[in-house]
Chains A and B, each alone.
Chain A
Amino acid sequence: MGNASSMLTQYDIEEVQEHCNNLFSQQEIVSLYQRFCQLDRNSKGFISADEFLSVPEFSVNPISQRLLKMVDGLNFKDFVAFLSAFSAKASIQQKIELIFKVYDLDSNGKVTFNDILEVLRDLTGSFMSEKQREQVLSHVLEEAGYTSTSALLLDDFIKILGNSDLKMEVEVPVD
């Protein structure tokens, strides 16, 4: 692996910083680069699904398969951009946008009843029946003034999640 930080020039770091709207400090980007190289075992320039799954703490996550569709094959710049939503400096809006993207995997800008159901299926597995899940979901949708046929837009997500306190922060270890 060598001394990874020496492989990133000041220009590279600034470019990456710009790409993630300055949500990470230069030191954090150097740390993330070292981590990226560590996970990208064959130095292909991207991290494959298999390499992500080699991290046990990631692979036991209930929505890991779903997240893989978002992070599989990202280059370093996009890898940092993906993680930037977890920076302490990221706004609530940016965090909600990421959550929305997890639901809206086909990125058509709409989250349907089925999209939410799929995530719920990942989260509950065999511990809730399909019927229970549908029941729960239509119940809470109706309560919030939607129906099971309505599609939620990003604005709806911001309205729904905007004033709850999202604790979505991950600290990048800097040595």
Chain B
Amino acid sequence: MRKLKSSSSEMELDRPNIEEYLPIESIQHHHENLRLRDLLNISPTLTEAAGAIIDDSFTRCFKSNPPEPWNWNIYLFPQWCCGVVVRYGILFPARVLVLTLGWIIFLSSYIPVHFLLRGHDKRRKKIERYLVEIICSFFVASWTGVVKYHGPRPSMRPKQVFVANHTSMIDFIILEQMTPFAVIMQKHPGWVGLLQSTILESVGCIWFHRSEAKDREIVARKLREHVQAIDSNPLLIFPEGTCVNNNYTVMFKKGAFELGCTVCPVAIKYNKIFVDAFWNSKKQSFTMHLLRLMTSWAVVCDVWYLEPQNLKPGETPIEFAERVRDIISVRAGLKKVPWDGYLKYSRPGPKHTERKQQSFAESVLRRLEES
């Protein structure tokens, strides 16, 4: 390196200094001796820590987008007030009415079908599926969902799973109104839980508790059974395992990618002009989330059914998951972050810290040997 520099002409001085672009460790490699100053200088580690305190990619994934205020203006303000009156005074009651009507229609046909057609499983399942689709359409109508579906509609075939990015439980409703998916989801408390264990069970949905390790095995077994069955509804998995604010994608869990099935990616992107569809489940109950949607002008969103993907030879399930995440992120315009969404509920393991410690220890030892 030094030789090169001394022989170079003065023109070379204008060139960018390549060392500035290299990571710190490779620069340190130049001094052979380990000196006290190198050992005491903890600035890289400190800077990393301060950087994480000031801003970090993980917290950004779960930040609700505050609505853009546009009404702070003397002549826009009255318009905004009119909007509030229309949204809360006219739209909201009308939507409640629509939703109630939907429930009446749904329950008055679901209950008789469920109990009277006990003997005819096949026919009963078909009608129930249809009814679930209908109630989902009512839900979408209750927030005036303007949903654009792109790409070919999913077909019912064995040995395929659908994976989508996850923003809110309404993802499921939006997808369900078109196709009767069987979904894998966290078990919720309250009325949602009741729906899960009664009605949605009939579409073949699988529920689990995130925190219970035993549930994981049961889900894995149920998954395999479900995929093998010819007659079952197509399976829908949200591999992020948690709701993200629709600007980022967190790591995909590999479970959906090691079933040996064709994976059909679905990308969902919400338009935030009227309302932010992100469900921050730590701050808001699902009921409040729905009320927020029902008092907004509309929920605008795009759904893309993307080209089915298969595991390439020599690819691990994790690499496969990353590849599918890439496809979805590009289509929906989301940024990828290297974090596991479950870190919302638990601390990261020692693995990451150990990797940093290892690289530091190795550089110290290597340079000690050289001196």
A8 at the interface (CB under 8 A from B): no
Closest B residue to A132 by CB, please name it: B365
Quick one: which of A38, A59, A62, A71 contacts B348, CB cutoff 8 A?
A59
Closest B residue to A83 by CB, please name it: B50
The distance in angstroms between the C-alpha atoms of A111 and B180, with both chains bound, is: 67
* Contact in complex: B41, A128 (CB < 8 Å): no
The distance in angstroms between the C-alpha atoms of A137 and B39, with both chains bound, is: 8
- Interface of B, helix, strand, loop or mixed by DSSP: helix
A151 at the interface (CB under 8 A from B): no
The distance in angstroms between the C-alpha atoms of A152 and B210, with both chains bound, is: 50
* Contact in complex: B56, A56 (CB < 8 Å): yes
In the assembled complex, how far is the CB of residue A125 from the closest CB belonging to chain B, in whole angstroms? 4
* Contact in complex: B45, A170 (CB < 8 Å): no
Quick one: which of B35, B55, B358 contacts A173, CB cutoff 8 A?
B55
A76 at the interface (CB under 8 A from B): no
* Contact in complex: B347, A38 (CB < 8 Å): no
Interface size for B (C-beta < 8 A) is: 46
B37 at the interface (CB under 8 A from A): yes
The distance in angstroms between the C-alpha atoms of A62 and B352, with both chains bound, is: 9
Q: Which residues of B contact A146 (CB under 8 A)?
A: 36
In the assembled complex, how far is the CB of residue A76 from the closest CB belonging to chain B, in whole angstroms? 13
The distance in angstroms between the C-alpha atoms of A112 and B49, with both chains bound, is: 24
- Interface of A, helix, strand, loop or mixed by DSSP: helix
B343 at the interface (CB under 8 A from A): yes
B4 at the interface (CB under 8 A from A): no
* Contact in complex: B54, A57 (CB < 8 Å): no
The distance in angstroms between the C-alpha atoms of A125 and B355, with both chains bound, is: 10
In the assembled complex, how far is the CB of residue A148 from the closest CB belonging to chain B, in whole angstroms? 12
Quick one: which of A64, A123, A124, A126 contacts B49, CB cutoff 8 A?
A64
Given contacts A57-B57, A169-B47, A170-B54, contact A102 B39 (CB under 8 A): no
* Contact in complex: B53, A60 (CB < 8 Å): no
Q: Which residues of B contact A83 (CB under 8 A)?
A: 50, 53-54
* Contact in complex: B348, A56 (CB < 8 Å): yes
In the assembled complex, how far is the CB of residue B31 from the closest CB belonging to chain A, in whole angstroms? 11
Given contacts A124-B364, A141-B36, contact A63 B49 (CB under 8 A): yes
Within 8 A of A (CB), among B209-226: none
The distance in angstroms between the C-alpha atoms of A144 and B45, with both chains bound, is: 23
B1 at the interface (CB under 8 A from A): no
B34 at the interface (CB under 8 A from A): yes
* Contact in complex: A99, B47 (CB < 8 Å): no
Quick one: which of B37, B56, B357 contacts A57, CB cutoff 8 A?
B56
* Contact in complex: B51, A99 (CB < 8 Å): no
In the assembled complex, how far is the CB of residue B250 from the closest CB belonging to chain A, in whole angstroms? 11
Within 8 A of A (CB), among B331-371: 339, 343, 347-348, 352-354, 356-358, 360-362, 364-365, 368
The 10 closest A-B pairs by CB, nearest first: A127-B361, A125-B357, A57-B52, A60-B352, A144-B36, A124-B361, A58-B52, A140-B36, A168-B43, A57-B56
24 cross-chain CB contacts under 8 A: A1-B66, A2-B66, A32-B54, A38-B59, A57-B48, A57-B56, A57-B57, A59-B347, A60-B348, A60-B356, A63-B42, A99-B40, A99-B46, A119-B42, A124-B357, A125-B354, A125-B358, A136-B34, A136-B39, A139-B368, A140-B38, A160-B40, A167-B44, A170-B50
